Amino acid sequence: MTYETIFTRSLNRRLEKKNMGFRALMGCVVVVLFLCVVVKPYIGPLPFLSLEQSITSGLEMFMSTKGGDEPQQSWSSIVHNLTNSRSQVYDMYGDIIRIHGNSSTIFIPSIHQHITNSNWTTKPYARLFDKTAMKRVRKFTIIHQTLENLPHCTRNFTSPAIIFSTGGYAGNNYHDFADVLMPLYSTSQQFSKNVIFLVADFHSYWTYEYKLILDNLSEHHIIDIDKENEVLCFPRLIVGLKANKELSVDRSLQFPPISTANFTNFLRNTYSSERVSVGNECKKTNTRGPRLLIISRNETRHLTNGDKVANMARSMGFEVVVREIGWEKPKVAKFVNSFDVMIGVHGAGLTNMVFLPEKAVLIQIVPFALDSVAKSYYDEPTKDMNLRYLEYKVSLNESSLYGKYPIDSEIYRNPGSMHDKGWLVFKSIYMDNQDVNVDLDRFRITLLKALELVCR
Ligand SMILES: *[C@@H]1O[C@H](CO)[C@@H](O)[C@H](O)[C@H]1NC(C)=O
Ligand SMILES: *[C@@H]1O[C@H](CO)[C@@H](O)[C@H](O)[C@H]1NC(C)=O
Ligand SMILES: *[C@@H]1O[C@H](CO)[C@@H](O)[C@H](O)[C@H]1NC(C)=O
Ligand SMILES: *[C@@H]1O[C@H](CO)[C@@H](O)[C@H](O)[C@H]1NC(C)=O
Ligand SMILES: *[C@@H]1O[C@H](CO)[C@@H](O)[C@H](O)[C@H]1NC(C)=O
Ligand SMILES: *[C@@H]1O[C@H](CO)[C@@H](O)[C@H](O)[C@H]1NC(C)=O
Ligand SMILES: *[C@@H]1O[C@H](CO)[C@@H](O)[C@H](O)[C@H]1NC(C)=O
Ligand SMILES: *[C@@H]1O[C@H](CO)[C@@H](O)[C@H](O)[C@H]1NC(C)=O
């Protein structure tokens, strides 16, 4: 997992501010599109609208075709640029969009000579700001072509399609959800399963792992687009997945609106998880205590006194299970859903909170110097999932980093300066070589709060 987010956050904020103006512009574009689509039958061919050339050219075309004779060839396409700082997304429709998978080329029919030479590239993976991830994503070239230069359709589809990549960091539990599955839900939910998934950087283990989710989002066979040597033709093609923040559903431009809670609810339906919300177990007499899952990590960021934490929790009335979470999603989903409280040191295992019932409590143990990533990756997303969040910040004397370096080391005094030396330096010091041994007296206070939350 990487955390280049830290470096790019302020940049993102700046970009988002810029986007406000961009959104206003988009509003105008939507109005123009509406006019064109609705009024089209009465006025002749649709203009091509690239967002670059944008509104004015769209209006010009609209005006210029209004009184004129009907051209013989009445066809054109619209490209909707939904790109933000997190993801490049192009939504194309109007005329038949063609894709030749093996050469990663998408063809947009165009009647306008002046744009027929314009083309651009895009990578359909929602972590645009992370160079390492994006290097592992297949690049697609999008080309405007006049009719005579378009390749011949060898397979015609009547449903829309979405292209996305399972390269990047896919295969890591966190990134599977944050970069692929939640953005895929945001992008595909509007089609009520009548949508075709074209997967780039295809891995059969990955589509197998998430088969139930994919089957519940699309009723069509998945196409391994890298291998495809035919020219596939679609009435509408979306390249890339919509995303706007970590581990969340992008609700922009969705109607009716959807939320992250819709996604976790979708997961519970998909995996037939029984518990929608935490009940009131503790109040009933002669019944079990609240169930507590401690996610263990063997290799890095190990909770050294996990056994003692487990025993203390048991003595407080919790029913405790300590487990390293495996891979078979249907089993994991049901298992995690049976808990009321989940504890773990910051890391991909915490992603399993997507399977918890609503109102469950997530306790994140935040190792020394990892506050910022802890917040954006797991703290903030809990709010949209209707979970409760508690945090246990590890102080230096509970960290295995203590005593490892001279007492006045920059590593203790100024972790930010390690960022400046590069992500890999930071990662190696604080992520890959830090275990934690929590202060039991202090941790008890956090557990008591959790108990109060689930038993209230
Ligand atoms: C799409 O929008 C993004 C962000 O505004 C911009 O950087 C990019 O150049 C646009 N793409 C095209 C093909 O115009
Ligand atoms: C894409 O456009 C560039 C410059 O506009 C041109 O040199 C290049 O040949 C084009 N590529 C294709 C595949 O049309
Ligand atoms: C697909 O449709 C186009 C035009 O709509 C037609 O020319 C072409 O023959 C069709 N291809 C197949 C394989 O049916
Ligand atoms: C796709 O193209 C590559 C070369 O770019 C080639 O090696 C490969 O065999 C092609 N795959 C198929 C299924 O045609
Ligand atoms: C999303 O959740 C809201 C509120 O619970 C609900 O009204 C809506 O139907 C849900 N939408 C979908 C697509 O599940
Ligand atoms: C997903 O699949 C499950 C089980 O197959 C089904 O009960 C549920 O209604 C499906 N949900 C959606 C949104 O299709
Ligand atoms: C983690 O540790 C447990 C018990 O110490 C062991 O059973 C398990 O195989 C380990 N897992 C890995 C991936 O090393
Ligand atoms: C550990 O450090 C915290 C503050 O950083 C302090 O309150 C606590 O007493 C220390 N514990 C020990 C055992 O030194």
- Can you tell me the mean pLDDT for 157-178? 97
The 10s digit of each residue's pLDDT in 88-109 is 999 999 889 999 999 999 999 8
* Confidence class for position 289, pLDDT limits 50, 70, 90: confident
DSSP E strands in 216-290: the ranges are 223-224, 231-239
The residue whose CB lies within 8 Å of the most ligand 7 atoms, and thus the one to mutate among 295, 307, 324, 325, is 324
The finding on whether 10 has its CB within 6 A of some atom of ligand 4 is: no
The finding on whether 216 has its CB within 6 A of some atom of ligand 6 is: yes
DSSP three-state, residue 182: helix
Ligand nearest to the CA of 233: 3
* Phi, psi of 373, deg, nearest 5: -70, -35
* Confidence class for position 111, pLDDT limits 50, 70, 90: confident
Which atom of ligand 1 lies at the shortest distance from residue 19's CA?
5
Ligand 2 site residues (CB inside 6 A) read 117, 119, 143
Which atom of ligand 4 lies at the shortest distance from residue 228's CA?
13
CA dist., res. 29 & res. 54, Å (int): 7
Ligand nearest to the CA of 154: 3
For atom 14 of ligand 1, the residue with the nearest CA is: 52
User: Is the pLDDT score of 72 beyond 50?
Assistant: no
- Can you tell me the mean pLDDT for 55-80? 41
The 10s digit of each residue's pLDDT in 389-419 is 999 999 999 999 999 999 999 999 999 999 8
CA–centroid distance, 64 to ligand 1, in Å, is 26
Which atom of ligand 4 lies at the shortest distance from residue 229's CA?
14
pLDDT, position 39: 37
For atom 13 of ligand 5, the residue with the nearest CA is: 258
User: Is the pLDDT score of 427 beyond 50?
Assistant: yes
Lowest mean pLDDT among 17-21, 86-90, 349-353: 17-21
47 DSSP 8-state letter: P
Mean model confidence pLDDT for the chain: 84
The finding on whether 46 has its CB within 6 A of some atom of ligand 1 is: no
Residue 87 CA from chain centroid, whole number: 9
For atom 4 of ligand 4, the residue with the nearest CA is: 102
Torsion of CA 181, 213, 215, 262, to 10 degrees: -80
pLDDT, position 283: 66
The finding on whether 120 has its CB within 6 A of some atom of ligand 1 is: yes
Residue 113's DSSP bridge partners are none
CA–centroid distance, 83 to ligand 1, in Å, is 6
DSSP three-state, residue 431: helix
pLDDT, position 94: 87
Ligand 8 site residues (CB inside 6 A) read 395, 397
For atom 3 of ligand 8, the residue with the nearest CA is: 395
CA–centroid distance, 152 to ligand 3, in Å, is 8
Lowest mean pLDDT among 22-31, 74-83, 354-363: 22-31
Which atom of ligand 2 lies at the shortest distance from residue 141's CA?
13
For atom 13 of ligand 1, the residue with the nearest CA is: 120
Q: Taking the model in full, what pTM does it have?
A: 0.84
CA–centroid distance, 154 to ligand 3, in Å, is 7
The finding on whether 53 has its CB within 6 A of some atom of ligand 1 is: no
CA dist., res. 202 & res. 225, Å (int): 8
The finding on whether 227 has its CB within 6 A of some atom of ligand 4 is: yes
pLDDT, position 271: 97
- Give the closest residue to 250 by CA, choosing from 163, 183, 189: 183
CA dist., res. 346 & res. 349, Å (int): 8
- Can you tell me the mean pLDDT for 134-157? 93
User: Which position has the token pair 């070239």?
Assistant: 141
